[in-house]
Amino acid sequence: MADKPLTRRQEQALETRNRIYNAAVELMERKGFDNITIAEISRAAGVSVGAFYHYFESKNDILAEIFRRADEYFATEVAPNLGEKPVPEQILEYFDHYARFNIASGVEMIRQLFNPKVKFFTRQDRRMLSLLQDLIRKGQERGEIRGDVSPEEAVRLLFIMARGVVFDWGLHEGSYDLEAMMRACIGRLVSTLRP
Amino acid sequence: MADKPLTRRQEQALETRNRIYNAAVELMERKGFDNITIAEISRAAGVSVGAFYHYFESKNDILAEIFRRADEYFATEVAPNLGEKPVPEQILEYFDHYARFNIASGVEMIRQLFNPKVKFFTRQDRRMLSLLQDLIRKGQERGEIRGDVSPEEAVRLLFIMARGVVFDWGLHEGSYDLEAMMRACIGRLVSTLRP
DNA sequence: GTATTTCGCATAACGCGTTCGGTGAATTGA
DNA sequence: TCAATTCACCGAACGCGTTATGCGAAATAC
């Protein structure tokens, strides 16, 4: 990924794109995703509707962008700081972060995400998945995780559960402690992965 | 619920409602929920768009209606036939039905459902939930299920997992065996509920 | 039997996400 | 340096879900 020098035009374009993104996020946090329009976002960013669609595929694509940026954070910040506790503990901690990230995003946003048309969940998780997968493999080598389930399967299982929890939390409009519920559910599942 | 005698007008109305519903379901199965319009449904049923909205709150309400009818079936057909196996087995069987019901509905439909704006999941499950709850209570009395988790909690946990599985299945466009996955996931969870 | 109310249904219009054809300025190539 | 091309951006139009308004016939009240 060589950073080619940007032409003036490209710089300008990038700035416009960011203006749109920022306007969208700000409006969204204030009024909720459903209650803002493309026209409104565009107006706030000082561009036309056409410009919005020049930079984003759809309204949902704003959500996707948020996720893309958040995934970056997850990979660079969370991953390196898991420490050297026993792997089952690390898995729990991993999902603590997952829960916190969802809380930070806000229920409003999470509710939008749980629409399978928005296929972040298969894409978005890529790096998170491989991170967790490595963790499990390590646990197996150390004898802290049973060897009779493949790391792929285990990851699959854990994420199915995690998304189930988040979805439920969204259903209940964020009215309970997501972290606690996540810990209880994942904890129970992890216990079946112990030797 | 006394069945009052219907006036001619009410009979006619009920028939119109059913015509709309049937037209919607048929079109849906042929072309998919997203690819049909209210106008199309109305035309097929031989009524106006206004008539559609007279009988259904929204396009999504058609999905809700399907669920309402299916729930009826679940309560009357599935529940009485669980037999007298050990409760952990019965729980597994219960979710076999759950999986099959989702398969029968079709991925297309399931994908629509996983939008928290459509809050069937908290309503729809009511009777299914209490059924399962009773099952678990019975299991506890018999000593087949641990007593250190309340029936409510257990049900909650099981459904979070089950919906997680179904959502995942929808994400992957129904490309794997839902029943098998359901069994694997629920089975693992149930194992933590055994004494 | 007549007046009043209900309600089944139609039609037009609106809002919003999305699409599409166009324009002019920046960039590229000769 | 000047023609050719790209592309950032515009704004009108379209499709579809949904709503607002109205009408006429059936039901009800007197």
Is residue A98 scored above 80 in pLDDT? no
Phi, psi of A108 (to 5 degrees): -45, -45
- Confidence (pLDDT) at A18: 97
8 Å CB contact of B163 and A168: yes
Chain B 29-68, CB < 7 Å to strand C: 42, 46-51, 54-55
Q: Where are the domains of chain B?
A: 8-55, 60-193
How long a stretch of residues is chain A? Answer: 195
Is A180 in the B-facing interface, judged by CB distances under 8 Å?
no
d(CA A194, CA B59): 47
The span from the CA of B115 to the CA of A111, in Å, is 7
Indicate if the pLDDT at residue A16 is higher than 90. Answer: yes
Query: Between these two residues, A129 and B59, which has the higher pLDDT value?
Result: B59
Q: Do A188 and B157 touch (CB under 8 A)?
A: yes
Residue B133 CA and nucleotide C16 C1' are separated, in Å, by 44
- A residues 128..167 contacting B (CB < 8 A): 156-157, 159-165, 167
Report, as an integer, the average pLDDT of A77-103.
78
* Per-residue confidence in pLDDT tens, chain B, 195 aa: 445 577 888 999 999 999 999 999 999 989 888 899 999 999 999 999 999 999 999 998 998 888 778 777 777 777 777 777 777 787 788 888 878 777 777 777 776 666 655 555 555 556 667 777 888 898 899 999 999 999 999 989 998 998 898 888 877 877 889 889 998 999 999 999 988
**Cβ(B136)–Cβ(B91) under 8 Å?**
yes
Q: What's A60-193's CATH class?
A: mainly alpha
Is 50 exceeded by the pLDDT of residue A1?
Answer: no
Above 90 in pLDDT, residue A93?
A: no
Q: Which of B111, B122, B165 sits opposite A160 (nearest CB)?
A: B165
- Reported as half-sphere exposure (CB side, CA atoms, 13 A), residue A186 has a value of 28
Q: Say whether A157 and B119 touch across the interface (CB within 8 A).
A: no
Residue to substitute from B160, B163, B183, B185, interface A, most A β-carbons within 10 A:
B160
Per-residue pLDDT at B125: 56
Do the domains B8-55 and B60-193 sit in the same CATH topology, yes or no? no
Please give the average per-residue pLDDT across A161-175, as a whole number. 83
Position B124 scores a pLDDT of: 53
Q: What type of residue is B165? A: V
A60 CB below 7 A from strand C atoms: yes
Fold of A8-55: Arc Repressor Mutant, subunit A (1.10.10)
Chain A positions touching B163 (Cβ under 8 A) are 164, 167-168
Query: Do residues B23 and B41 lie in contact, with contact meaning Cβ atoms separated by under 8 Å?
Result: yes
Q: What is the pTM of this model?
A: 0.76
Convert the pLDDT of each residue in A21-61 to its tens digit.
999 999 998 998 889 999 999 999 999 999 999 999 999 89
- Minimal C-alpha gap between A145 and chain B (Å): 15
In whole angstroms, what is the distance from residue A28 CA to residue A42 CA? 13
Identity of the residue in B163, B170, B188 whose CB atom sits nearest the CB atom of A189: B188
Mean pLDDT, chain A, integer? 84
Q: Which residues of A touch B145 (CB under 8 A)?
A: none
pLDDT over 80 (residue A109): no
Residues B130-134: contacts with CB under 8 Å, at least 24 apart: B131/B75, B131/B79, B131/B94, B132/B91, B132/B94, B132/B158, B132/B159
Residue B160, pLDDT score: 93
What is A3-67 written as a DSSP string? Answer: -PPPPHHHHHHHHHHHHHHHHHHHHHHHH-GGG--HHHHHHHHTS-HHHHHHH-SSSHHHHHHHH
